[in-house]
């Protein structure tokens, strides 16, 4: 049934899916949700574990024939713009069509806030939290990458989030762990030393948890007030801002992390946010066509070398256009004409010449094959 349908030319490249969600990165997940709500069945999803293949070095990115959009905002803009270019095919592509000018400007501001503050909470949960990192995230990331990369790339990814989370106070730079002091002379009797507060790792961890909780409450209060009692942020219809918020909240509640601090906080104290995210998830995945998956990209050792940006293979051309066929015919015709004229020349000129070759050791001459090369005097 599907073989007759042409594969969609809109391809979205995202980080691979984890924990029951299409992608583990909040912006990638938001892009998948947006496309699934706006243009279900008209795009295909490609799980990509090589962000260097993207023109900007980051995922998600969208390829539509010759056009490439990187970053979530430009993907939203491009897909919304498809409605103007091709109304019949992409009628519902613009989720923000019902917003007025003030709401549109508020949406831009809230995009910035969600991408910095909510995302900080998500990245803290996934990368900064030591329990979550070592028990869940690291094995999941290592499974995505092929053999040489799986040993160093997850660590690199984690380190890339460090400056941002440290600046916002969600990642303590040094976790002092108590080393067991080895006494050089075990028989010496020393008075017991008082444990210093600053060196007590468990105490500092407890303070950090309090800090994270306070910080998370402050951020989530803002979103709870923004949503209020309405089903969605801007009224009764889902908009791109709802998709973005839902993507972050889903990544806080779906994954099964050992440290459930933020998940419990959300489920117990912010039911409106959880309800919004589940609503958006339902709209995306429980109605309409399922998305079409492409085969995963083959891993290769060439990915180890630094790649030039922008080296992307051009999309395979389908030669159904009549001009292409005409062009191909003319090209082959020209080649045929050149070869034919060469052969004709050889035949015409070669009448004066005869080719002789003597087969060494062949007694029984085959008369037809033997020719003698003689120059006939003209």
Partner 1 sequence: MASFFSVPSPIVAFNAHFPLKTYPYIKPLNKSPVTAPTLWIQPPPATSQPVDNLLSSDVECLKWQAYLALRGLKHLRLRWDIAPEGAIDGALPNLHVPIAEALVKDEKLAKSDGAEDGELLAAHSIPAWVDAKLGVDSSADPLEGYKDQASRVESRAWVSLLEGVVHAALLISKPPPSYLHSLLFPSSTPPISESLQKILSAPPAPLTGLLSFLPPTGARINTASILSQYRDAIASLSDRLGTDNWFLGSAEPTPLDALAFAYLHCILESSDTVRIEVTRRVNLVAWEWRVRCLVREGFKQ
Task: Return the residue of 309, 333, 340, 350 that touches partner 1, per CB under 8 A.
Answer: 309
Task: Return the residue of 167, 315, 359, 362 that touches partner 1, per CB under 8 A.
Answer: 167
Which runs of consecutive H residues, i.e. helices, occur in 302-359?
Answer: 322-350
230 touching partner 1, by CB under 8 A: no
Of how many residues is the chain composed?
Answer: 378
242 touching partner 1, by CB under 8 A: no
298 touching partner 1, by CB under 8 A: no
247 touching partner 1, by CB under 8 A: no
CB of 251 vs partner 1, minimal distance in Å: 14
Q: Of residues 33-62, which lie at the interface with partner 1 (CB under 8 A)?
A: 50-52, 56-58
Compute the C-alpha angle 184/187/189, nearest 5°.
100
User: Is the Cβ–Cβ distance between 246 and 36 less than 8 Å?
Assistant: no
What are the tokens at 3? 């073989």
Q: Of residues 116-135, which lie at the interface with partner 1 (CB under 8 A)?
A: 116-117, 119
Distance CA 28, CA 59 (A): 7
The label of the residue with tokens 């045929």 reads 336
Per CB under 8 A, the segment of 9-17, 90-98, 163-171, 329-337 that binds partner 1 is: 163-171
290 touching partner 1, by CB under 8 A: no
101 touching partner 1, by CB under 8 A: yes
CB of 315 vs partner 1, minimal distance in Å: 22
What are the tokens at 95? 């989720």
CB of 22 vs partner 1, minimal distance in Å: 17
110 touching partner 1, by CB under 8 A: yes
Size of the site for partner 1 (CB under 8 A): 46
Residue 114 φ/ψ, nearest 5 degrees: -65, -40
Task: Return the residue of 295, 304, 347, 349 that touches partner 1, per CB under 8 A.
Answer: 304
Which is nearer to partner 1, 68 or 292 (by Cβ)? 68
Whole-Å CA distances, 52 to 11, 18, 56, 60, 372 = 17, 21, 8, 11, 66
Q: H or E segment at 272?
A: helix 271-285
CB of 158 vs partner 1, minimal distance in Å: 11
Whole-Å CA distances, 80 to 8, 38, 92, 336 = 17, 8, 9, 49
Q: Strand, helix or coil at 283?
A: helix
Q: Strand, helix or coil at 43?
A: strand
User: Is the Cβ–Cβ distance between 11 and 43 less than 8 Å?
Assistant: yes
Distance CA 120, CA 165 (A): 7
Task: Return the residue of 40, 44, 113, 140 that touches partner 1, per CB under 8 A.
Answer: 113
Which is nearer to partner 1, 4 or 100 (by Cβ)? 100
157 touching partner 1, by CB under 8 A: yes
Q: What is the CA radius of gyration of the chain?
A: 33
What are the tokens at 12? 């979205």
Is the bond into 125 cis (omega within 30 degrees of 0)?
no
Which is nearer to partner 1, 58 or 260 (by Cβ)? 58
Which is nearer to partner 1, 242 or 283 (by Cβ)? 242
Per CB under 8 A, the segment of 152-160, 176-184, 189-197, 367-375 that binds partner 1 is: 152-160
312 touching partner 1, by CB under 8 A: no
- Listed in sequence order, the residues at least 6 apart from 237 whose beta carbon sits closer than 8 Å to its beta carbon are 95, 98
Per CB under 8 A, the segment of 11-19, 82-90, 219-227, 341-349 that binds partner 1 is: 219-227
Task: Return the residue of 97, 109, 143, 321 that touches partner 1, per CB under 8 A.
Answer: 109
269 touching partner 1, by CB under 8 A: no
The four Cα atoms 146, 147, 149, 155 give a dihedral, to 10 degrees, of 100
Q: Strand, helix or coil at 232?
A: strand
Which positions touch partner 1 (CB under 8 A)? 27, 50-52, 56-58, 70-71, 73-74, 101-102, 104-110, 112-113, 115-117, 119, 145, 148-149, 153, 156-157, 160-161, 163-164, 167, 222, 225-226, 303-307, 309
């Amino acid at each position: 049934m599907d073989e007759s349908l042409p594969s969609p030319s809109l391809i979205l490249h995202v980080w691979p899916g984890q924990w029951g969600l299409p992608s583990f990165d909040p912006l990638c997940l938001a892009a998948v949700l947006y496309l699934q709500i706006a243009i279900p069945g008209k795009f295909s999803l490609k799980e990509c574990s090589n962000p260097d293949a993207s023109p900007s070095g980051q995922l998600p990115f969208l390829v539509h024939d010759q056009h490439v959009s990187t970053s979530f905002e430009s993907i939203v803009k491009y897909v919304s713009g498809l409605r103007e270019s091709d109304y019949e095919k992409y009628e519902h592509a613009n989720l923000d069509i019902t917003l007025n000018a003030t709401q549109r400007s508020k949406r831009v501001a809230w995009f910035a806030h969600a991408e910095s503050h909510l995302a900080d909470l998500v990245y803290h949960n996934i990368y900064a939290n030591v329990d979550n990192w070592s028990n869940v995230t690291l094995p999941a990331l290592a499974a995505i990458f092929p053999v040489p990369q799986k040993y160093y790339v997850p660590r690199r990814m984690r380190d890339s989030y460090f400056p941002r989370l440290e600046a916002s106070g969600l990642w303590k730079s040094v976790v002092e762990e108590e080393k067991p002091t080895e006494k050089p002379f075990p028989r010496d009797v020393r008075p017991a030393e008082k444990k210093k507060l600053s060196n007590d790792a468990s105490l500092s961890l407890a303070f950090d948890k309090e800090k994270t909780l306070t910080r998370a409450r402050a951020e989530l209060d803002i979103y709870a007030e923004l949503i209020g009692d309405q089903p969605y942020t801007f009224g009764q219809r889902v908009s791109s801002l709802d998709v973005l918020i839902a993507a972050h909240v889903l990544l806080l509640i779906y994954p099964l992390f050992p440290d459930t601090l933020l998940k419990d906080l959300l489920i117990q104290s912010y039911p409106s946010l959880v309800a919004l995210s589940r609503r958006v998830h339902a709209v995306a995945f429980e109605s309409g066509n399922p998305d079409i998956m492409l085969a995963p990209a083959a891993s290769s050792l060439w990915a180890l070398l630094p790649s030039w940006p922008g080296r992307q293979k051009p999309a395979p051309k389908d030669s159904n256009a009549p001009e292409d066929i005409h062009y191909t015919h003319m090209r082959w015709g020209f080649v045929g004409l050149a070869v034919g004229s060469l052969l004709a020349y050889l035949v015409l000129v070669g009448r004066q010449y005869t080719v002789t070759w003597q087969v060494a050791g062949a007694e029984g001459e085959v008369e037809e094959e033997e020719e003698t090369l003689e120059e006939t005097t003209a």
